[in-house]
Chain A
Amino acid sequence: MRVNVTVNGEKRQVDDVWEGESLLYVLRERMGLPGSKNACEQGECGSCTVYLDGETVCACLVAAGQAEGREVVTVEGLGTPEELDPVQQAFLDAGAVQCGFCTPGLIVATHELLARDPHPSTVDVREALAGNLCRCTGYEAIIDAVHLAAGRMAAP
């Protein structure tokens, strides 16, 4: 089937999509956007977190056809290599990236959190990122990165 979806502000059309395919597969394999990671395929790990019409979702649990006519923003849409999003920069600076596999999902989830709550408490950060698993860092550096990004984004 054909799917029309706006991804990172650009209207995209893909053909020959299998009806049971996930949005994640379409993004990675058909649109060349490998930022969203494919790990658990069951919504447990959050590595494929993207925005769907402004809400964070696991792209692996959205059927490709359900994205028809809707707006998706992936980690690739948040910054550019020249100008990283403040959340991306903070993750680098805080050492919140080790193997990097969970990072795109955490970046998107953090981006959403800080848009909604510019100064989250650590408890709120843990709650907001509860659906994103990291097996390297032990999360402490990730939480530091969120606070670092929040501080920088609040600074004039």
Chain B
Amino acid sequence: MEFLRATSWSDAVSIKAERPAALPIAGGTDVMVEINFDRRRPEAMLDLNPVADLREWDRDDGRVVIGAGVPYTRLIDELGADLPGLAMASRTVGSPQIRNRGTLGGNLGSASPAGDTHPVLLALDATVEASSVRGSRSIAIDDFYLGVKKSALAPDELIRSVRVPVGTGPCHFAKIGTRNAMVIAVCSFAVALQVSGRGVRTGIGSAAPTPRRAPEAETFAASELDWSGRGPLTDAVARRFGDLAAAAAVPINDVRGTAAYRRHAVAVLARRTLAWAWEEYRACA
């Protein structure tokens, strides 16, 4: 194995072009587990820690542009007001030690169906900025997840940043696990209200081969919610929304839970998060 150290972003992109099999490592919270347990022996690791640009975030035209190397701790501390849903998901990641190291770009790069930020990024209609020596491109989050731990990144591409719209409306996230800390999600769910267009977007985690939306639940909620009158969320709408969300899940039985439990839990989390989001919308009248 070789250890390749990128000293700048252009350096990182050129190394990745020359050595597409080099495994990028940032926080190491996924990569090092695989190496420690001999599950993966990449021919090289590409250390992105020295690339300072990746640890920055900025505001740009109604969006926050988050460098791929920003760790969860800083998503919570610095972006909690702009992106409370993303901060909420970040708080459920691992432990303080893991949140200090693990990064948003790493969560995307690993593309685990159980990654905690995915449902929120789906619900908020984020865009992944990928770069290579060939240039940069924006990948809509809807097109990013291709399979279990498979993403739309080309072998020579690296994730530069993630663009997330801000101020579009309430966004909530919930996750099921056996305890509050240190758990991989049994399942998770995020919902975002897009107030100006009266739309609803969702994200389901850990209940399908990839993180995915629940389009029928979204369409249903968008048409049934009382946007103008800001009336309460009725039990019937909440339940139907939950059922449609569960119908979009394709869970499996595994050590963390059964498919039947996951489907049930997705329904519960969906109606719960929609209720929180809707109450926040009503309170902002």
Residues on A facing B (Cβ under 8 Å): 1, 18-20, 22, 41-44, 46, 49, 55-58, 60-63, 65-66, 68, 109, 112, 127-128, 130-132
Given A60-B36, A131-B97, 10 new contacts (CB under 8 A): A19-B45, A42-B33, A49-B97, A57-B100, A63-B28, A63-B35, A112-B96, A131-B94, A131-B182, A132-B95
Contact A58 B101 (CB under 8 A): yes
Contact A62 B101 (CB under 8 A): yes
Checking A22, A44, A49, A68 against B182 with a beta-carbon cut-off of 8 angstroms, the contacting residue is A44
Q: How far is the CA of A110 from the CA of B175 in the complex (A)?
A: 27
Q: How far is the CA of A19 from the CA of B5 in the complex (A)?
A: 11
- Nearest A-chain residue to B26, judged by Cβ: A66
- Nearest B-chain residue to A3, judged by Cβ: B3
Contact A61 B27 (CB under 8 A): yes
State the interface size on chain B (CB cutoff 8 A). 30
How far does the Cβ of B226 sit from chain A's closest Cβ, in whole Å? 37
Which residues of chain A have C-beta atoms less than 8 A from B32's C-beta? 22, 43, 60-63
Contact B28 A62 (CB under 8 A): yes
How far does the Cβ of B38 sit from chain A's closest Cβ, in whole Å? 9
Q: How far is the CA of A81 from the CA of B25 in the complex (A)?
A: 37
Interface string of B42-57 (1 = CB under 8 A from A): 0011010100000000
Q: How far is the CA of A41 from the CA of B34 in the complex (A)?
A: 10
- Answer whether A18 and B28 are a contact pair too, CB < 8 Å, given A43-B33, A57-B101, A131-B182: no
B181 interface hit (Cβ, 8 Å): yes
B1 interface hit (Cβ, 8 Å): yes
Q: How far is the CA of A1 from the CA of B181 in the complex (A)?
A: 36
Contact A43 B25 (CB under 8 A): no
How far does the Cβ of B54 sit from chain A's closest Cβ, in whole Å? 14
Contact B47 A66 (CB under 8 A): yes
8 CB contacts below 8 A, A to B, read: A42-B37, A43-B33, A43-B95, A43-B97, A55-B100, A55-B101, A56-B96, A61-B33
